[in-house]
Amino acid sequence: MSKWASLVAGCALLLAAPAFAQSAKPRNYGIGTPATPQQIAGWDIDVRPDGEGLPPGKGSVKDGEKLFLERCAACHGEFGESAGRWPQLAQGKGTLATNDPVKTVGSYFPYASSVFDYVRRAMPFGDAQSLTNDELYAVVAFVLNLNDIVDDKFVLSKETWNQVKMPNADGFYNDDRETAEKAFWNKNPCMKDCRAPVKITGHASVIDVTPDDKTARKGGVE
C-alpha cells in the first residue's frame, strides 16, 4: 500500500469511529454487572396515588394497633402525638396556615400512597423494610385511623385503597405561577444597569466595626 493509500485508509477508520460509538452495541466499561430482575424489584417499590404499584396483601386497623405499639409508638407516641421530639403523625388539622403549622398524615399528607410509600421505605426508623406486606397495610391503616381518616373496622388493601379520602388532598395544586403571577413577569427582563446609580451614604469603617491593628485585641483570647 502506498503512503497515501494508507493515510486515506486511516482517515476512513477515524471517520468510522463515531458511527461505531453510536451503534446499539452496549459499551463495556469493565466495571459492574447488569442488575438482575430481582435486584430491580427490590428498588422498584414506589406506589402511586391511584394504588398502582401496591403489593399484594391486606391489614386491619386492629392488627395495626398492636404493631404500632410494638414498633412505632416508642418514637411517635401511642396516639401518634410524638414521644419527645420525634415526628408527630396525628392531629394538627387546621394549623397549616398558622404561624406554627403541625404537618401530620391527617393535616398535611395529600395521598395515602405518601404514607404507605414512606413507611414501606423508611420505617421503623433504624429497622427499615423489616415489615411484611400485611404488617405494612395494617400499620398504615392504623395511622390513618389515628387521624380519623378510616374507622376502626377498616381493612386496608388494594381493593379498599380508593375508599381512603385524605383530608388535605385538595391542599396541593399544580404550580400556577405562570397565570397567577403573570403581572410580575416581564418578557424582556432587565439584565444590565437595572437600578438607578447607587449613592454611597456611609462606610462601615465610620462606625468602626472592622477590627484593625489599632482596635484588635492584643495577645489573642482573653
Q: Which residues bind ligand HEC (CB under 6 A)?
A: 71-72, 74-76, 86-87, 89, 103-105, 115, 118-119, 123-126, 139, 143
Nearer to ligand HEC, 51 or 147 (CB): 147
Smallest gap from residue 52 Cβ to ligand HEC (A): 20
List the one residue out of 84, 121, 89 whose CA is nearest residue 106.
89
Residue 68 beta carbon to ligand HEC: minimum distance, rounded to whole angstroms: 6
End-to-end CA separation in angstroms for the chain = 86
**Nearer residue to ligand HEC within complex by CB, 102 or 160:** 102
Task: Specify the residue, 138 or 220, whose C-beta has the smaller distance to ligand HEC.
Answer: 138
Q: Which is nearer to ligand HEC, 148 or 208 (CB)?
A: 148
Taking the alpha carbons of 34, 38, 43, 44 in that order, is the dihedral positive or negative?
A: positive
CB-closest chain residue to ligand HEC:
72
Between residues 86 and 172, which has the closer beta carbon with respect to ligand HEC? 86
Q: Which of 120, 198, 121, 111 is nearest to 149 (CA)?
A: 111
CB of 13 to ligand HEC, least distance (A): 55
Shortest Å, Cβ 88 to ligand HEC: 7
Instruction: For residues 42 and 36, give the distance between their C-alpha atoms in angstroms, rounded to a whole number.
Output: 10
- Closer CB to ligand HEC, 46 or 205, in the complex: 46
Do 76 and 83 contact (CB within 8 A), yes or no?
yes
Cα 117 to Cα 140: distance, rounded to the nearest angstrom? 10
Shortest distance, position 216 Cβ to ligand HEC, whole Å: 44
Query: Please, what sign has the CA dihedral across residues 188, 190, 192, 193?
Result: positive
User: Using CA atoms, how far apart are residues 69 and 108, in angstroms rounded to an integer?
Assistant: 23
- CB of residue 75 vs ligand HEC: minimum separation in angstroms? 3
